[in-house]
Structures are given as structure tokens and as C-alpha cells.
A and B are shown apart, each in its own frame.
Chain A
Amino acid sequence: DAGVIQSPRHEVTEMGQEVTLRCKPISGHNSLFWYRQTMMRGLELLIYFNNNVPIDDSGMPEDRFSAKMPNASFSTLKIQPSEPRDSAVYFCASRAGSANTEAFFGQGTRLTVV
């Protein structure tokens, strides 16, 4: 398996534009996580899906952020409109769904909003 695949790896956009980050989890994994990492706040869980259903989105900072998982092999995180404070590295991770299994992380998308 190629692991968790995220695209794009880097994204530079202007304030106010819509940004869509994409994630392909490992085949067979039924849990998917979106995280945001910044120097100031560290690693933050944004949203967690189990079997394509959002279970906990309490970490989504505001209504500008939305996430979908239309099927078991694809998820998106959308920011509309984007703001400079959204600049961060966004990670997607997937897990086999049991509490004793590890999460596998993608390489991340480095987002810069100017």
C-alpha cells in the first residue's frame, strides 16, 4: 500500500480564496482524522470520521472549515474563505478502527494564505 496520500503537498493562496485539501486513506482503514499543526498551537484534531461518518468535529475552528468523506477512499477538507491565520500544515491520518491500532499519517499539506 502506498500509505496515506495527501494532495497538494504545498498550497499558496490569497486571502478570501477557497482551498480544498484532499486525502486518500489506506485501503481497509475505517477511521480518518484531519489534523492541523502550527508552531503556536501544536497538533490539533480538527475532525474525525468513522465509516465515512463524522463522529467529532468539535475541533473545526469555525464555519469556514468543512470536511467530507463521500466514500471510504477519499476525504476533503475545505476552507472558504481562507484567511492568513489558516496558514499551517494539515495532516490526514487513517486507522484500522480499533483502539489498539496505530494511525498512519500522510506527508501533510503546507498551506500558506497571503
Chain B
Amino acid sequence: ETGVTQTPRHLVMGMTNKKSLKCEQHLGHNAMYWYKQSAKKPLELMFVYNFKEQTENNSVPSRFSPECPNSSHLFLHLHTLQPEDSALYLCASSLGQYNSPLHFGNGTRLTVT
């Protein structure tokens, strides 16, 4: 599936760095999501945006800061991360917030050193 594009594909950052992950969808969807997938663990929902408004924050630490300027773009701003934040970060979108299938991007593999 190429409707959801994430950049960069890989990112290595130090604990004092600030970086951003970007997600863009070309599917005309209204809802966008960030998920975290750590090794050997199920995907965890982090944030949900519906029509640019944040509708869910799943108790995510403040060192992760999402931004949704419009229904097609979603960012995840990262600062002062910890090594345990190393994971695959996946963006998804869906037409509606509830009864619609999710479409995922390829993910950003983040390593915090």
C-alpha cells in the first residue's frame, strides 16, 4: 500500500536531540493515528486525530508531541527521548474514526542512543 507515506524510514538520535517524524496520506481520510511497536510487544496506540483535532492521547509521555496541521499530514515531534523509546513508529489513517479500516505507512525505525 502506498497511500500512507512516512519519513524518514530510519532515524538514529541521541537523548538530547530533537527530531520529527512525518506522515502524509493521499487517501482522503479524515482520521490519523500514531502507533508504537516495540520488540516482542503488540502495537500500542499513541494518538488519534480526527479532522485535525486530537481525540485520544493514550497516556503518552510529553517527550512525544504530535501535530496535525491538516487531515493529510501528521507529525510526531521527539525530544529528550530515552533508549527504551527505540521502536518502530507507525502512522495510520482511516476514513472515519471508528468503523473504517486502518491503512498503515511503512513505519520509521527509531533508535535512541
Chain A bound to chain B: no
Which residues of B are in contact with A by a Cβ distance under 8 Å? none
